[in-house]
Amino acid sequence: MFRKVLIANRGEIAVRVMRTLREMSIASVAVYSDADRASLHVRMADEAEPVGPAPSSESYLRIPRIVDAARKHGAEAIHPGYGFLSENADFAAACEDAGLVFIGPSAASIRSMGSKTAARQIAVAAGAPVAPGTDHGATFEEAREFARTHGYPVLLKAVAGGGGKGMRRVDRDADLESAHRNASSEAASAFGNPEMYVEKLIERPRHIEIQILGDRHGNMVHLGERECSIQRRHQKVIEECPSPLMALYPEMRAAMGQAAVKAARAAGYYNAGTVEFLVDADRRFYFLEMNTRLQVEHPVTELVTGLDLVKLQIEIAAGAKLPFTQDDITWRGSAIECRIYAEDPANNFLPYPGKITRLAEPSGPSVRLDSGVYEGWTVPMDYDPLLAKLAVWAPTREHAVARAGRALSEYHVGGIRANIGFFRQILEDPEFRAGHLHTGFIEEFLQRTKAPVSPEDVDAVAALVAALHASSQANGGQSLPAATSAWLTTGRGEFLR
């Protein structure tokens, strides 16, 4: 087993990996940019090394600097987390060339499955169903020809993409050229590759993914599914395991699991990975892509299966065999995760960096918080504004939804804006509670409900009411209006409702 591992990442995922390393008695090395000098992951690491200025292109994405940091500190392996270099085949190859173990799949697997078009070709060869689309990077002219042949709407997607970046829905011919240009520019900035491909858009699909795990000895299993249909701007924000759909049609889990394992085997895959599918209204599923890394939403799988995916990743990278077979995998209860972002739901979910002046975090039975922040820390504007992941487990989905709502009611972040109150509204929505989910859920939710209330708006009203109350007391104790008094006694949560 390794004695020291460098984590080529930041924020909550770096902290999460460190915790497993500590349980395994493995020393951790953090890397950090100038903007992250005081970050929680730097404070928690056994050792830390600066790798450059705030822009990720000059720090977290600089392969030579990351490799040099690992050599300097005597690390034997590198865990990439997710994002940044986690799906960069050149980084995996550079680790190998430097005599370091990359805690993930081989560079060859990343190249074959990291390219969305190459992954489609592998999936087809493995017998997995795919949506109509191009199997190569498409120029604007090729995208237009595809759209006119198959009909609108279509979806433009980055060949090297992920996380919703470089993705555009196009509903008519007149919008295609500008959408292709803008998506390509975004993809070049995010992934260093401007290539786009195009797929026929499946309307109102569910986004369901299968967690797979394989070792270097040819053993591979799937760990079930995650429902990831609640998204904004193609970015997942609420995930759960199991999918409410699978609860009704459990045979789908077996079919999708087999398709995922076949596709991964065709790529010679090992370590942790995720095969993503879209499911249409008729319960037909289509291969979407494969993420050749640990997913943001892996905690819900861990809560339901009782497995530590990071520990398994590390053991597999060190040469161990999987300690179980497919028949040994069981799923118990229901888990839900909410991604807590520094963003303003009332302003089109725009990022909201700044100093965290107050932080009250939830706890209690079966509540897990993977956080990368602390009170007094300033959220930088240079990176994804994910603050933490709140995940809960309960014996049933109904109980898990209630538990998540309770945990969110205990969660307060001051000084910046966050999406906590918005999640509470979604969890109380009858459509969500009924499991009627699809990737356009949030857009429809916003259309049929009132706009999200900003936490800062609530604080402003609270300050005003408190001032009025103090003024009334100073003027002989004149009573406030009944509604105001009721709010003062029931608290902020009831006011939001």
List, by residue number, the catalytic residues: 293
* Cis before 242 (ω within 30): yes
Contact 436, 451 (CB under 8 A): no
Q: How far is CA 318 from the centre of its chain?
A: 26
On the CB side of 344, how many CA atoms lie within 13 Å of its CA?
14
CA distance 110 to 104: 9
Kindly write down the DSSP assignment for every residue of 264-304, as one continuous string: HHHTT--EEEEEEEEE-TTS-EEEEEEE-S--TTHHHHHHH
- Residues 6 or more apart whose CB falls under 8 angstroms from that of 422 comprise 345, 452
CA distance 87 to 104: 9
Question: What residue has token string 């499955």?
Answer: 113
Contact 419, 350 (CB under 8 A): no
What residues form DSSP beta bridges with 360? 412
Torsion of CA 98, 102, 107, 113, to 10 degrees: -160
DSSP symbol at 411: -
Question: What residue has token string 């520990």?
Answer: 311
Question: Which residue type, as a one-letter code, is found at position 16?
Answer: R
Total Cβ atoms within 10 A of residue 351? 17
In sign, the C-alpha dihedral spanning 432, 294, 410, 406 is positive
CA distance 9 to 18: 11
R_g of the chain, CA atoms, integer Å? 23
Residue-level length of the chain: 497
Backbone angles phi and psi of 232, in degrees to 5: -130, 130
Element at 32 (helix H, strand E): strand 27-33
What residues form DSSP beta bridges with 213? 221, 272
- Residues 6 or more apart whose CB falls under 8 angstroms from that of 265 comprise 126, 214, 220
User: First and final CA of the chain: distance in angstroms?
Assistant: 52
